[in-house]
Chains A and B, each alone.
Chain A
Amino acid sequence: VTDQDTRLGYLKDMLTIRRFEEEAARAYAQGKIGGFLHLYIGQEDIAVASAAAIRKEDYVFASYRDHGIALALGMDPKAAMAELFGRHTGCARGFGGSMHFFDLANGFLGGWAIVGGHLPLAAGTAFKSKYVGEDRVTLCFFGEGATNIGGFHEGMSLAGLWKLPVVFICENNRYAMGTPMHRTSPLEDLTLKAQGYGMPGENFEAGDVEKVRDRVAAAVERARRGEGPSFIEIRTYRFRGHSISDPAKYRTAEELEEQKKRDPILALRSRLLEAGVAEEQLDDLEVEVDGIIDEAVRFAEESEPAREELLWTTVLAPPRQDEP
C-alpha cells in the first residue's frame, strides 16, 4: 500500500526529471550546453520507481541516458545542470558532461557511453558485494539496443555464473537510435535471452510507477537474499529523439501522440486526482518544481567554469591515505 505522500513524492521526482530535461533542451538550443544530449522524457517512471526499490547504499549504473536516473537517486539538480554547463560545481566537475554523470554519495556509479560497456562493470560491483559479504545490490540500466553487443553477453554471463547480486534493467524504448527492434533482434521477447545466462527474466509495460517499483523491488530483494541476478525488460517510450539532434523521422506523429497518452506523469497525476488530492495542490507542486529547476539553471550559469588545473590532477589518482 502506497500512501498519498509517497505518491506525491514520486510525482515530484518525475516532474523534476521532466522539467530538468526540458530546460536542458532549451539551454542546448541556446548554445549553453555542448556535445550530445540524450533526454529521458517519457521514461521518468522507471528511474523514480527503481530508486524507490533500492537502498541508499546500493550501486547503480546507467547508460549515456543518465540524467533521470541520477536525479531519481537524489542528485542535486543544481549539480546536474552545472555539469551540463561544464562547470566546476557539476557532479563530475565539468569533466563528464551529459553522458557521464557521477554521484558516489548517492550510489550512482556513472553514466557510460559505449553501448553495453558498463554491464561488466555492474557485474564487478556486484562481485565486490559478494566478495566482502555485504548485502548491497547493483542496478544496471541500458537500452534494448545494448542487448546485441558483447558487453551485454559477457556481463550477463559472469553475473549468472557467479550468482551475483545485480539486476539488469533493459529500458526498451523501442528504437536503438533510429532502428526499431524488429530490425535488430531475432527475438520479440528479450527475456528469452535471460535463460541463456541462467537468470530469470520478465518484461512488462512501464507507465505505472508503483507497479514498476514493486516488480523491480522483487528482483532487488531476490538479489539481496543471495539468489542471484535478474533481467528485467521494461517497455517504455521516449518522447524525444535519440539525442537532441535527432528529429526522429523514423516514427510517425500518430505513433508519438498515441504513446503520449500513456505519459507516466499524467497517469500518476490522474490517479492522485481520483484519490481526492486537490488539483490546486498538484499545481502548487508543479510551481515548486519549476522553481527548483529555474534555480538549477541559475546556479549553473553563475558557477565557475571547470578548472584547468584539474585536467592534470585527475588523470591519475594520488596515493590514498587509508593504505594498510
Chain B
Amino acid sequence: MRQLRYREALNEGLAEEMERDDRVFLMGEEVGHYQGAYKVSQGLLERFGEMRVVDTPIAETGFAGVGVGAAMVGLRPVIEFMTWNFSFIAFDQIISNAAKVYQMSGGQVPCPVVFRGPTGAAKQVASQHSHSVDPFYTNIPGLIVCYASTPRDAKGLLKSAIRDDNPVIFLEGETLYNMKGEVPDEPELVPLGKARTVREGAGCTLIAWGRPLYTALEAADVLAREDGIECEVIDPRTLRPLDDAAILESVQKTHRCVVVHEHWPYGGPGAEIVDRVQHGAFDALDAPVLRVANLDVPMPYAAHLENLVLPTVGRIREAVRKVAYADR
C-alpha cells in the first residue's frame, strides 16, 4: 500500500469530498492563499476556487458561526481552526449553537458542520497553545468527537465526518502531521464510533489516541521485552460516541486496563473510559483501572518540563506493571 503523510491524507480526504459534493467547502484562517498553516489545504484553492476555499480574518466567533449558519441551511462546511486552542473564542458557537440547534428546534434543523484542526502539545509552544481539547467537547451531547491517530484514519474519518449530518469535532495531532503511514488508493470511509485494535495482547488493555498512542505502543514493546507483559492497544478513534463494546471486549480478555491520554486528569474521556470499564467489566477486572495523563499543571515552555508533563513510556510501563502486580 502507498505511504502518505498525515497532512497529505487529510488533504486527499478533503479534496475527494469537495469533488464529490459541491456543498462542501473549507473555511478558516490561512487555508487558501497561504495553503494552510500546516499545509493541510495545500493546492485546494487552485483546484476549487475562492468560494470553496475561504480565507477568513482572525475571527473565530465569526467564521465558526458562519459555518453553523451555512450548515443549518444545507451546506457542509469544514471549518478549520488553525489550532484548537483558538476554538475557545468560538466556544459559544460550537456549544450553544451547533450542538443545540437540532434538539432545540424540535428536530427541524440539523447542523452538518465539521470543525477541524490540530490539538495537543506541539513541542514547546507553551501554555496557551498546548491544550488538549478532548475533555471540553466530549462533554457535550449533540457533538461527535473524533481523534485521528494515523494517516489512514485521518483520511477515512474525515470523509465520514463530512458526510455526517451532525456537528463533528475533528481533532488532529499537531505533532502527527508529518507522520507517514499506509493509506489505500481507493477512497475509504472509516466509520464514526468504531475503535481499532492496534496491537493484540492478553496481558493488559492499553487505551490511547493521538500522539500518546505511539507512546503507548512504545511502552507495549518495552513491556513485552522487559516484563513479559503483552499489551492489547486500542485506539478509540471516536471519543464521542465511544465504542464501549470494543473496549469491554478487550478488558474481558486481559482483565486489566490502563488509559493513556494527553489531557488533564480531571474528568474528560480518560476518566469516562475508566468509569465505563469499571461498571461494564467489573467482574472481569483483576486490578483497578489506572490512567496515565498529563500532569495537572498548565503546560510549561522548557522542553524537559514539557516532557515531564506529557505521558511517558516510563509512566505507562509503571502503570501497567502496577495493574499486573509485577512487583509482587
Contact = CB atoms under 8 A, between A and B. Distances in A.
**Is the A/B pair a real complex?**
yes
Q: Which range contains the number of A residues in contact with the other chain? A: 35 or more
Contacts of B57: 157-158, 161
Given A124-B70, A128-B75, A131-B75, A93 B109 contact: no
Nearest to A136: B73
A150 interface: yes
A77 interface: no
Contacts of A109: 72-73, 109
Given A59-B73, A125-B72, A316-B142, A117 B65 contact: yes
B321 interface: no
Contact of B65 (A100, A151, A310): A151
Given A102-B109, A314-B106, A110 B65 contact: no
B25 interface: yes
A127 B66 contact: yes
A95 B69 contact: no
A31 interface: no
Interface residues of B, number: 47
Nearest to B113: A124
Given A109-B109, A157-B57, A324-B20, A123 B103 contact: no
A160 B40 CA distance: 28
Most-contacted residue by chain B among A91, A120, A122, A317 (CB, 10 A): A120
Contacts of A161: 57
A95 B103 contact: yes
Given A95-B103, A100-B105, A124-B67, A157 B97 contact: no
A96 B69 contact: no
B166 interface: yes
Contact of A95 (B89, B93, B104, B166): B104
Given A96-B104, A117-B92, A118-B97, A316 B144 contact: yes
A92 interface: yes
A20 B14 CA distance: 49
Contacts of A313: 107
B265 interface: no
Contact of B109 (A110, A153, A323): A110
Contacts of B163: 323
Interface in A235-259: none
A315 B69 contact: no
